[in-house]
Chains A and B, each alone.
Chain A
Amino acid sequence: MEHLEHFRQEVRDWLEENCPPSMRTPLVPEEEVWGGRNAEYVNPESKLWLERMGNKGWTAPNLPKEYGGGGLDRDQTKVLHQELYRIKARPALNSFGIWMLAPCIIEFGSEEQKREHLPKIIKGEIRWCQGYSEPGSGSDLASLSTKAEDMGDHYLVNGQKVWTSYADKADWIFALVRTGPKEPKHNGISFLLIDMATEGVSTKPITLISGKSPFCETFFDNVKAPKENLVGVENSGWTIAKKLLQHERNFISNFGLAGGGTGSGADVVNIAKKYLGETNGQIANQAHRENITLHKMKEHAFGLTLQRSGDEGAKASAASSMFKYYGTEHNKDRYELMIAAMGNKGLGWTNEGFSDDEQAITKAWLRTKANSIEGGTSEVQLNVISRRVLDLPN
């Protein structure tokens, strides 16, 4: 305990000295940092903050020091997060590399792959995207058909991925490819790392019902990927794929809490009071008030459940399906309640007749519809709970 308080003081001193003043102000979307070869920094202090945190390894506090991580244990990581939160520091780096790929490279990658990729992920030098879904393979991901043929020193990759977030901005992609066309579907998949700058890789952005989006289609046309970029053993990529999905679900489920998600941190109670009016300080319309109360109570209990899971020290597991399912369904519900409370003000598309905040909520409402589809649909999560938690038969 004393040791931990000593560490806290160290963190505090270091942050005091190294966190630039503008990095302690609320984040504006244009200044969000994702790193990568082609990163542009609107605010030079974002770059400085990333460099300092990256060099310290604190962009990935719990990864081992020898690969550039912070080497902190669970309690120390918590202290670091608390101290960052205390000074309202912006995230130094958003990274699919850290959230999803790094834990899998640690678990399944070769020593060379760890030395090659982890430091660059942690410092934000290389930006990664995820190549999982395909036009013909959504929930049935294991039916994927992007093929990688063994050509001796390299794989020849042909096929198409879809829903690759930020593929147009990413430097590398971690992709699921079919290396065993004759094997049963789960046993012919490999986990392959591909440099997006390789000849034959191209991307095309996707427009959603909510408007512009980071999603892309990614095409592989006779792309040569060196053999050393295979993670784990050929044809056993499905195990890695599933593990990575658990890390992704844990990450997405946090969206369920107020303030998470995209577009707007608006609180549904304040929105309701503003657009429905107040009677003696209460939301004026009883039916709306009851619906919102139910929602807030579920949110409270869900938040306590995330906290309990942390206190119990549960690792990524089948229970992450519960958080993914509940968090995303709850987030959808929140935006439905919000636009309902706003009445005709919740239906704006441009600034003709609507404020920026109002449009943002409408767009965010539409965007939430994808929450329960991406990263495994709600129905798939319920399947996982049934089979792996409740042990119900197939």
Chain B
Amino acid sequence: MKLILTEEQQFLKDTAQNFAKNKTPVTHFREMRDSENSQCWDESVWKEMVELGWSGILVPEKFGGSEFGMAGISVIMQELGKTLTPSPILSTSVLGVSAINMLGSDEQKENYLPKIVAGDLTTALAIDEGNHHDPFAIEATAVLDGDEWVLNGKKVFVVDGASADTVLLVARTSGKSGESNGISVFAANNDSPGLNITKIATADSRNYANIEMSDLKLDQNALLGEQDLAGETLEKILDLGRIAISAEMLGNTEEAFEVTVNYLKERKQFGVQIGSFQALQHRAAKMFCEIELTKSAVIAAMHAADENSNELERLASLAKFQAGETLHLVSNEAIQMHGGIGVTDEYDIGFYLKRARVAEQIFGTSEFHQARYADISGF
């Protein structure tokens, strides 16, 4: 496994970089935030991404996708992360596609995947139920009643849950909370009776929802894959999500760092550029080192996913951990090094801090992944 990009992946990265620079600079995010748009991403921007084929990067060719793999979508997310571009790409093109493709029957794939590729359908994966990510702590239940599934329970902090056309609900069909066995995944239309979706307002001004299921009735086709057996696959789907958001976080980090280093070269105090102060230089140099480590962890993880490596879990946790730690550091230092203007809303750098903390929570914090890495490694 070589830790570099192929020509094809580099091309995707360059395309995404141009797109982000020209179509969705940070001013686009600011407009979204200040608008009445409750889904927090722009329909026409998403359509353009779809036209570039980004909705189908992970979709098999026979369902209209390009199969460019995790490396392909990760480099796109990295570039979109630089300008904080809001879009349903993570929830739909990574999580939705992976869940349907890895769990679903041929019929279900045929039903959903071409629509996702065409941009006619967005999804959300509803998994967490508590204050912290804990993928097997599932108490929501699904019980077969005649020829219908009946779901009850709640989901929180569902990424893009407030806009998704189809919600993928993780529920327990047997066993007890904490067990990997007994977990099943169901697809439900957002307007299904018994499904109550409530948008929540988070610091990063992106789209999340809490969801309640009260006697939500779904027909048998709603079950993705086999009853009780989704647990292990779900971990793999989450790992792909973790890698993708790590790439986005790397992009957040790179941009926040670049903006900050440029500021150190411009801002003058005591008659000199503040970047000439060693107290700031050494902190910047240390951030540079951590960013280099993050790039390596992310590229190793995305290639591991595409090669179906047995190191995938460990590398996904390493990537999310390292991306989280580095973004945490850089987002804090970026504010401090900007001084007063860093804490004003008028200046963009604060957006990166707000996005950072939310992204750190998604699919497991650094603490979560540190514990997971230790367990997998047998420490």
Which residues of A approach B to under 8 Å, CB–CB? Answer: 269, 281-283, 289-290, 292-294, 296-298, 300-302, 304-305, 307-308, 311-312, 319, 322, 325-326, 379, 381-383, 385-387, 389-394
**Contact flag A304-B297 (CB < 8 Å), given A297-B370, A297-B373:** yes
**Contact flag A302-B293 (CB < 8 Å), given A382-B286, A390-B288:** yes
Q: Which A residues lie within 8 Å of B294 (CB)? A: 301
Q: Is the CB of B285 within 8 A of A308?
A: no
**Cβ contacts A to B, 26 pairs, < 8 Å:** A269-B377, A289-B379, A290-B374, A293-B370, A296-B373, A296-B377, A296-B379, A297-B322, A297-B373, A300-B318, A301-B297, A304-B299, A307-B3, A308-B295, A311-B4, A312-B4, A322-B288, A325-B289, A381-B285, A382-B286, A383-B278, A386-B281, A391-B265, A392-B284, A393-B273, A393-B276
Q: Which A residues lie within 8 Å of B293 (CB)? A: 298, 301-302, 304-305, 326
B261 CB–A CB distance under 8 Å: yes
Q: Is the CB of B265 within 8 A of A392?
A: yes
B296 CB–A CB distance under 8 Å: yes
**Contact flag A304-B379 (CB < 8 Å), given A311-B2, A390-B284:** no
- In this complex, the member of B272, B292, B295 whose beta carbon has the largest number of chain A beta carbons within 10 angstroms is B292
The answer for the CA separation of A112 and B265 in the assembled complex, in Å, is 47
Q: Which A residues lie within 8 Å of B282 (CB)? A: 379, 382-383, 386
Residue of B nearest to A379 (CB): B282
Q: Is the CB of A290 within 8 A of B265?
A: no
Q: Which B residues lie within 8 Å of A292 (CB)? A: 379
Q: Is the CB of B379 within 8 A of A269?
A: yes
The answer for the CA separation of A392 and B4 in the assembled complex, in Å, is 28
Q: Which B residues lie within 8 Å of A385 (CB)? A: 285, 288-289
B271 CB–A CB distance under 8 Å: no
The answer for the CA separation of A207 and B378 in the assembled complex, in Å, is 40
B133-167 CB contacts (< 8 Å) to partner A? none
Distance in angstroms from B6 CB to nearest chain A CB is: 12
The answer for the CA separation of A136 and B378 in the assembled complex, in Å, is 49
Distance in angstroms from B44 CB to nearest chain A CB is: 37
Q: Is the CB of B288 within 8 A of A294?
A: no
Q: Which A residues lie within 8 Å of B261 (CB)? A: 390, 392
The answer for the CA separation of A307 and B296 in the assembled complex, in Å, is 9
The answer for the CA separation of A384 and B4 in the assembled complex, in Å, is 25
Chain B contact residues: helix, strand, loop or mixed: helix
Q: Which A residues lie within 8 Å of B185 (CB)? A: none
B300 CB–A CB distance under 8 Å: yes
Distance in angstroms from B74 CB to nearest chain A CB is: 15
Q: Is the CB of B373 within 8 A of A293?
A: yes
The answer for the CA separation of A93 and B56 in the assembled complex, in Å, is 54
Residue of A nearest to B314 (CB): A300
The contact of A382 among B285, B295, B321, by CB within 8 Å, is B285
Q: Which B residues lie within 8 Å of A387 (CB)? A: 281
The answer for the CA separation of A382 and B276 in the assembled complex, in Å, is 13
B264 CB–A CB distance under 8 Å: yes
The answer for the CA separation of A304 and B295 in the assembled complex, in Å, is 9
Distance in angstroms from A206 CB to nearest chain B CB is: 29
A-B contact count (CB 8 A): 109
Q: Which B residues lie within 8 Å of A379 (CB)? A: 282
Distance in angstroms from A315 CB to nearest chain B CB is: 16
Q: Which A residues lie within 8 Å of B371 (CB)? A: 293
Distance in angstroms from A341 CB to nearest chain B CB is: 12
The answer for the CA separation of A283 and B378 in the assembled complex, in Å, is 9
The answer for the CA separation of A11 and B209 in the assembled complex, in Å, is 62
B275 CB–A CB distance under 8 Å: yes
Q: Is the CB of A297 within 8 A of B321?
A: yes
Q: Which B residues lie within 8 Å of A283 (CB)? A: 379
The answer for the CA separation of A99 and B35 in the assembled complex, in Å, is 61
The answer for the CA separation of A322 and B318 in the assembled complex, in Å, is 20
Q: Which 5 A-B pairs have the closest CB atoms?
A: A386-B281, A385-B285, A304-B296, A308-B3, A301-B293
Q: Is the CB of A322 within 8 A of B289?
A: yes
Distance in angstroms from A20 CB to nearest chain B CB is: 34
Q: Which B residues lie within 8 Å of A301 (CB)? A: 293-294, 296-297, 318, 322
Write the B256-288 contact mask toward A (1 if CB under 8 angstroms, else 0).
000001001100000011011010111011101
**Contact flag A308-B296 (CB < 8 Å), given A300-B318, A301-B318, A390-B284:** yes
The answer for the CA separation of A307 and B261 in the assembled complex, in Å, is 27
The answer for the CA separation of A169 and B270 in the assembled complex, in Å, is 53
Distance in angstroms from B273 CB to nearest chain A CB is: 5
Distance in angstroms from B257 CB to nearest chain A CB is: 9
Q: Is the CB of A290 within 8 A of B370?
A: yes
The answer for the CA separation of A270 and B379 in the assembled complex, in Å, is 9
Distance in angstroms from A246 CB to nearest chain B CB is: 16
**Contact flag A322-B292 (CB < 8 Å), given A294-B370, A390-B285, A392-B265:** yes
- In this complex, the member of B3, B322, B378 whose beta carbon has the largest number of chain A beta carbons within 10 angstroms is B3
The answer for the CA separation of A289 and B378 in the assembled complex, in Å, is 11
Q: Is the CB of A392 within 8 A of B281?
A: yes
Q: Which A residues lie within 8 Å of B292 (CB)? A: 305, 319, 322
Residue of A nearest to B258 (CB): A390
The answer for the CA separation of A84 and B278 in the assembled complex, in Å, is 44
Write the B1-36 contact mask toward A (1 if CB under 8 angstroms, else 0).
011100000000000000000000000000000000
Q: Which A residues lie within 8 Å of B285 (CB)? A: 325, 381-383, 385-386, 389-390
Distance in angstroms from B291 CB to nearest chain A CB is: 10
**Contact flag A392-B264 (CB < 8 Å), given A297-B373, A307-B3, A386-B282:** yes
The answer for the CA separation of A195 and B289 in the assembled complex, in Å, is 40
Q: Which A residues lie within 8 Å of B296 (CB)? A: 301, 304-305, 307-308
Q: Is the CB of A393 within 8 A of B373?
A: no
**Contact flag A293-B374 (CB < 8 Å), given A269-B379, A311-B3, A383-B278:** yes
Q: Which B residues lie within 8 Å of A298 (CB)? A: 293
The answer for the CA separation of A322 and B292 in the assembled complex, in Å, is 9
Residue of A nearest to B367 (CB): A290
The answer for the CA separation of A390 and B286 in the assembled complex, in Å, is 11
The answer for the CA separation of A292 and B378 in the assembled complex, in Å, is 12
Distance in angstroms from B279 CB to nearest chain A CB is: 11
The answer for the CA separation of A311 and B288 in the assembled complex, in Å, is 20
The answer for the CA separation of A298 and B326 in the assembled complex, in Å, is 12
Q: Which B residues lie within 8 Å of A304 (CB)? A: 3, 293, 296-297, 299-300
B356-378 CB contacts (< 8 Å) to partner A? 370-371, 373-374, 377-378
Residue of A nearest to B2 (CB): A311
